[in-house]
Structure 1
Amino acid sequence: MRPRGPLAAEALGFAAAGAAAYAVDLALFVWLRGPGGFGPLTAKALSFLAACTVAYAGNALGTYRRRPPAVSRARQYGVFFAVNLAGAVVQLLCLACSHYLLGLTTPRDDVISGAGVGMALATVLRFWGTRTFVFGAATARDERAPAAGG
């Protein structure tokens, strides 16, 4: 099934890059915490950095490949990292509000607020921030370009 329209194709590409980044984040975190012997915060920081790099590469070389960078790739990656960091803060804020302000303290509550609601809100923020600040708004030329795979 092909996406209908440029925004749908963009969202699909963004989701694919995000899924790959999530897999890297999870696998690397588990390895660093186990056989790697790292503490939880160091392991998470390293896996987050690796996941951001994978997501950036997927978006720069895939989803937004037709948009030439307006700034250097290094600066573009820095902005991308900042957008992803803001998404992580959103997830943490959802968890903190649910756990400490609303008193929803069971492990299930934490998963729902952090990995459910927080992830959904963070994904919306990341998509908007990535297309707005990192790769710029679509131009008329981009909208006329054929979607990936067709």
Structure 2
Amino acid sequence: MNTLQRSRPVKPVKAARDYRLFVRELLSFGFVGFLGTVITIGGANVLRHLLGGGPLTSVVVPTIASTVSSYLLNRYWTFRSEDAAASGREFVIFFGLNGVGMLIQVLCTGFTYYTLGLHGGVAYNMGLLVGLVLGSAFRYWSYKKWVFAPAL
């Protein structure tokens, strides 16, 4: 018997179910991310331009608020199909990884503001947006790998 005959065929029903789950998770994660983005960008602009906050503090404070709402929405909606129970360990890992994501955002904002010397509102928001995109890519990957991974 050759190796082709011994291998098990992929079940199309399971593959389709896995694909639908992936798409649902990705869309849910995107929606949660959209809400987080509104909180982060809206909060950053209110703090920075209306209340006169510093460029980096104005990123950190709304990002923390966004993180809390994102944790709750991702745990109980996006990744609800995962068996992992919400725990203190999961919560700590989530916030640690969000700290890395926030660092990515702050570095992009700081680079735009301090290194490039671009202080206008459009430049500030572009740096913030680039940081959000890069930070979000890191967050999705890390949540899937370490936070909301199926229980072993």
Counterpart of 2:79, as a letter, is Y
1:93 alignment partner, one of 81, 87, 107:
107
Deviation at residue 106 of structure 1 after TM alignment: 3.7
Report the counterpart of residue 115 of structure 1 in structure 2: 128
2:27 alignment partner, one of 12, 16, 19:
12
Report the counterpart of residue 144 of structure 1 in structure 2: none
- The share of aligned pairs that are identical, in percent, is 26
Aligned residues of 2:101 and 2:139 also touching (Cα < 8 A): yes
Aligned residues of 2:84 and 2:151 also touching (Cα < 8 A): no
Give the alignment's Cα RMSD to 1 decimal.
Answer: 3.5
Residues 7-26 of structure 1: CA distance to partner in whole angstroms, max 9, x if unpaired?
22111111222233444556
Residue pairs, 1:121-132, within 5 angstroms? 121-132=134-145
Deviation at residue 128 of structure 1 after TM alignment: 0.7
Q: TM-score, normalised by structure 2?
A: 0.65
Aligned residues of 2:84 and 2:150 also touching (Cα < 8 A): no
Aligned residues of 1:104 and 1:110 also touching (Cα < 8 A): no
Deviation at residue 90 of structure 1 after TM alignment: 0.5
> How many equivalent pairs are there?
132
Give unpaired runs (5+ residues) of structure 1. 140-150
The answer to whether residue 95 in structure 2 is matched with residue 81 in structure 1 is yes
1:60 alignment partner, one of 52, 56, 75:
75
Q: What SS does the aligned partner of 1:69 have? A: coil
Report the counterpart of residue 145 of structure 1 in structure 2: none
